[in-house]
Structure 1
Amino acid sequence: MKAKKQQDDAVIEDDLARTKSQLDYFPKWQELKPLGKNIHRRSYHSCVTWDNYIYVYGGYETNEGILDDLMRIPIPNTDKSLEWTQVYKNPQKELKGPGPLRNHSAVVYQNKMYIFGGKENLIQPCCKLWIFDFQKEKWDEGQDCKINDQTVCVEGHNSCLFVQEDMASMIVFGGFYTDKGYVSQILQYQFKENIWSLYYEQQKTSPQGRAGAGAAILGNDLYVFGGCNYEQRFSDFWKFDLINKKWEQIKTEKSPGSRSSSVIVSHNQGLYLFGGIHDITHEKNDLWMFKNNDWILLEEDNSRRQVNDELNDSLDKASQSKPNKQKEKAKIQDIQNRTLFLLGEDSELRSPQRRGSVKNISLPAGTQKISTEQNNVSQATNNMEELKKRRWQQKKMQMLAEFDLTEEEKQKFRSSSPTTEQIKNSINLITNQDKGGQRKISSPIGRKQQQAQLIGKKPCARDGHSVIVVGESMIVFGGDRNLMSFNDLYMYSFSMPNKPTK
């Protein structure tokens, strides 16, 4: 038994060694830790950037419901403190605005944010367009979406900014319409003219109707990947020529696979796709880049689902040296049948109150060998069950390790007492004097601002998140996983070298 336990421990150590790479350091990622109070967790919100700030509106959280706040935080690596603030201080009752909203979209054009569609409640989408003036911090109600005098209420759509010479517009793809269900038609809202129009009607050559797709404009083309309808999640990839108004399905050697609620953003290196949900309880956190007419896997999905699969595979391999499960089960059943034959089909033995009490009955001498054989098989089964429990426990520890912080990392965000800060400042006051008699005091806020990040930490799997591009960085905020929403903030660097995953 001791040798067997050592063998089992060796298998577990091998599991740890092979799954350790999934929890490894990701040099291009870092988690940003805002100072002060964090905002509500949320998913299916909108997120834009303007004047070195990131703006987040609305969204959904299971306990809070549909949110109606407009929050902002400075873009990282600026001279401003990384702290969330509410954009307007007026009470919500006195301020005209969109109100609670989820599954909507937002774009920015000329110092204004345009929010369209979404759900104001848990039942029905809306058709409203809201315009927020960043400079005046004021909401204005825009033109409701109407096509041929028919109101268009939509959620789960995609909106992208399209600028062509002197004309700028918001391109809206797909979504779920109140009257039509899932669609793949394209709408256009022209900013200067303040008018809505049907840019391209859904046809046989169009993608199937869908919501929750990933979409982005690169050049004069609208790219669309995945999404879902009532029946399935899609893995197809499409390109729409916005000039010639023509759909084309893109066939690639590799593919991110079927998913919805992923996000695609455009960068000068190509298109980037992050996250999404593949199946119920199977969200993803892989990162793909589309370049030279093919998908390139930059970072594999290291969600808990993948860890589970690999550990289960290891368990299957480890069990190969043990008795065959089917044969073992059949053998136990045969022993039980023979035992019942010897004892007789006594109704008292078969009653629910007495199940499992056979072991307390004195068996005839001829059945002792059978009982011994049954005990041996049961012991082997119990050993397997014990191994499974140990593996499940080990797996849970690995999952928790993903969110653990070292003592050094905890110290970075642990607030010092006022007395401690005064002592530190006094020491700095003495030690930082130079020959000119000048004195320098290190700012506690500046110190926390510099350390408020966990370099190498990657976002966990999620959907309903937002992704925006700021210069040579990609910012990921919020989302949810298994109905648990997030309010975490991550930054990915495009400029650092990244080797594609085989």
Structure 2
Amino acid sequence: MYSKRSQSYRNNDSLKLYPISPSDSQPQETEYKYLPLITRVSQEQLDPKWQECKIEGKNLLPRSNSAITILNNYLYLYGGYQYAIGIMKDFYKLNLNGQTYVWQKIKCDYEPGPHCRHSMCSFEDNIYLFGGQVADSISTNEIFIHDVKQQQWKKIEVNKTYPAPIDSHCATLLEDQWIIFGGFYGGNQCKHSNDLYSYKFNENNWIKLNKQKGMEPAPRDGSSITSYNKSVFIFAGKNGDMRYNDLWQFDILKLEWTFISINSFNNIPMSRSGHSLITYQNKLVVFGGIHDITWELDDLHSFNLDIQEWKTINFDTSRRQELELPSPLKTNRNQPRQRKTKKLPILLRPMSLRKSPCPSPKKQIRSGSFSQYSSYSNGHNNFVSSDQSQYQSNQNNQNNSTVHTTLNNVQERKRWEQQKKKIAMLKLFEVENREIMNFEDDCNVAEKLKTSIILIGNPKQDLKLRKGILTEFGSQIVSKFLLPITGGQNTINGKKPCARDGHAVAVFNDFMILFGGDRHTMSFNDLYQLNLNQF
């Protein structure tokens, strides 16, 4: 069923095919049934704000819950998790200013070991790694430091100020402090956290910031945090099966939490966890996450800190059944149709309901009934027509004659029964046009495959397009509806990431860098850039 909101999306997402003249546009849209399907696919895949980075050489293994950071124009990545492999311990870097994007594996004599659901940051000329899971249900509170120039890892000594072993927390830099929030305490505690800690790099000392009790966020993991102007902001997260969409601010100078009330409730993002949150100028930017079991998101939102208002940049399209244009081969099923009772074929009916293969005699009508053989009936008198009297006499004669049935009649009857069986079996394969709609596949992938086959292999001229204009069959045709716009040598402009959670993000100049994540336990190893200037 299509909602009113999704109907407005479809009206706004319509894509013109640039006809030769306005008078020619209407015949093209009505005559050629495949045009709406093609324009929908083109509209879905192109988004000028996004760029996919093309990786040269061997790509990384797909993973989620890894950590990335940027130092000296290099993107550093450590660890992660994949369902088929488990927790990873590899360490890579990638030159963001290079002509091509190539992952370079960094080999060190000493390594932190397997880590996922951890945090990583860069400060001065070093990279820091904290917390996370090191094995199934086993967390750590250790900090490792990597010297980029010497390419060496070193474990920092843990002291009493350290928080308990924790994973699934969120972290951000604020000047010379590394601030973490929430997460899940492992070990003997086994509980969600709403603690806010600050780490001093030069002092190797943790300070708990939210010591005062009062209004504060509920304990959670899978949240996200970012910093802006002497404050940190956290958004959403989950506590068990309960997910949030609340926004909080913590003032570092006042050391107090403030719940941000929203001026307009129109564009508040859905509750989620495993998403990303960054700061750009005076805006908070939220992407992706998971809203419910098997419902990952690909929506994009921004929050203006000056006017305290959310704005939806891209709506979620992961549940495309509600938002997509109906296929030309489908009907717009606004309400589920009730199934009509179907008349079973002869062979599938119980023996008591099967009709005789021979022409059946007409049954005698009971008194008080009304049929084509009775002229009038009521509760007291019955007037039977002459046709019925003739019918009764015929029935008696037939009963007497069945005893003297010849062999030829038996063989004829068998042939007639076999013929009816064939007819009944053929009827099993007959499906009415209106019933075919019930068996059509609503899967968007199937529709895209169907469109690809049509564009590539169908020779009909009404299915061939060139520059949005119908062309004659026989001319050279190149269809680019299913292909994104190619940008530079190392990027594909217009291609946006699919729905996911557990991805890692970082800010590089005016771009948000996004890597990996997963959807339905299927991990990704793709790399994207979001142009933050195009909001």
Tell me, yes or no, whether TM beats 0.5: yes
Evaluate the alpha carbon distance shift between residue 96 and residue 243 of structure 1 in structure 2; reply closer, same or farther with a 3 A threshold: same
Q: Could you tell which deviates more after superposition, 238-247 or 307-316?
A: 307-316
RMSD over aligned CA atoms reads 3.9
Q: TM-score, normalised by structure 1?
A: 0.71
Partner of 1:175: 183
Match of 1:487 in 2: 525
CA separation of 1:400 and 1:344: change in aligned 2, threshold 3 A: closer
Query: Does 1:454 pair with 2:492?
Result: yes
Is it true that 1:127 corresponds to 2:165 in the alignment? no
Distance 1:325 1:363 in 2: 38
Considering only CA atoms, is the larger Rg found in Structure 1 or Structure 2? 2
Q: Following the alignment from structure 1 to structure 2, what is the Cα–Cα distance between the partners of residues 122 and 312?
A: 44
What letter is aligned with 2:291? H
CA distance, structure 2, for counterparts of residue 400 and residue 87 of structure 1: 44
Distance 2:357 2:137 in 1: 65
CA distance in 2, matches of 1:313, 1:232: 36
**CA 1:154 to 1:52, structure 2 compared with 1: closer, same or farther past 3 Å?**
same
What's 1:68 paired with? 89
Distance 1:387 1:326, change over 3 A: closer
Match of 1:273 in 2: 286
Q: Supply the AA of the counterpart residue of 1:143.
A: E
Question: Tell me, what secondary structure is at the counterpart of 2:320?
Answer: helix
Note the alpha carbon deviations across 1:61-107, whole angstroms, 9 max, x for none: 122221111100011xx24542110123x4xxxx2221000000112
**Is the counterpart of residue 136 in structure 1 residue 144 in structure 2?**
no
Counterpart for residue 249 of structure 1: 259
Unaligned 5+ segments in structure 2 are 1-29, 364-423, 457-485
- Whether the aligned pair in 2 keeps the contact of 1:128 and 1:145 (CA below 8 Å) is no
Q: Which residue of 2 aligns with 1:287?
A: 300
Give the structure 1 partner of residue 275 of structure 2. Answer: 262
Q: Which residue of 1 is the match for residue 508 of structure 2? A: 470
In structure 2, what residue type is equivalent to 1:154? I
Deviations 1:107-153 (A, max 9, x none): 21111111111000112111111111112211111133644xx8601
CA drift at 1:467: 1.2
- Of residues 307-316 and 14-23 in structure 1, the stretch that sits farther from structure 2 once superposed is 307-316
Q: TM-score, normalised by structure 2?
A: 0.67
Q: Which residue identity does 1:66 align to in structure 2?
A: I
Report if aligned partners of 2:37, 2:328 keep a CA contact under 8 Å in 1. no
1: CA distance, partners of 2:169 / 2:431: 52
Higher normalized helix content (fraction of residues): 1
Q: Shift of residue 301 of structure 1? A: 2.1
Could you say which residue in structure 1 is the equivalent of 2:167? 155
Q: Work out whether residues 514 and 529 of structure 2, in 8 Å CA contact, stay in contact via their aligned partners in 1.
A: yes
* Deviation by residue 1:207-232 (Cα, 9 ceiling, x = unmatched): 11110112111111111111111131
Letter paired with 1:177: Y
Instruction: Name which of 99, 104, 114 aligns with 1:85.
Output: 104
Q: 1:320 to 1:50 in 2, by over 3 A?
A: closer
Is residue 145–residue 152 contact of structure 1 (8 Å, CA) maintained in 2?
A: no
Letter in 1 for 2:180: V
Letter in 2 for 1:158: C
1:12-161 alignment runs, 5 A limit: 13=34, 16=37, 19-20=40-41, 22-75=43-96, 78-79=97-98, 81-88=100-107, 90=108, 95-144=109-158, 146-147=160-161, 152-161=164-173
Measure, in 1, the Cα distance between the counterparts of 2:251 and 2:438.
Answer: 54
1:23, CA displacement in angstroms?
1.7
Count of aligned pairs: 408
Show the counterpart of 2:377.
none
Unmatched 5+ residue regions in structure 1? Answer: 1-8, 346-357, 368-373, 407-447
Aligned partners of 2:449 and 2:191: how far apart in 1?
Answer: 39
Per the alignment, do residues 13 and 196 of structure 1 end up closer, same or farther by CA in structure 2, a change over 3 Å counting?
Answer: same
Q: Which moved more, 1:259-268 or 1:291-300?
A: 291-300
Q: Partner of 1:386: helix, strand, or coil?
A: helix
8 Å contact kept, 1:44–1:59: yes
Secondary structure of 1:207's aligned partner:
coil
Compared with structure 1, are the counterparts of its residues 401 and 175 closer, same or farther at alpha carbon in structure 2 (3 Å cutoff)? Answer: farther
Tell me which stretches of 4 or more aligned residues in structure 1 moved more than 6 Å. 9-12, 311-316, 338-342, 377-381, 399-402
Deviation of the 1:193 alpha carbon: 1.3
Residue pair 2:115, 2:132 contacting (<8 A) in 1 also: yes
- Cα distance between partner residues in 2 of 1:68 and 1:104: 12
The letter for the 1-side match of 2:78 is Y
Q: Percent identity?
A: 30
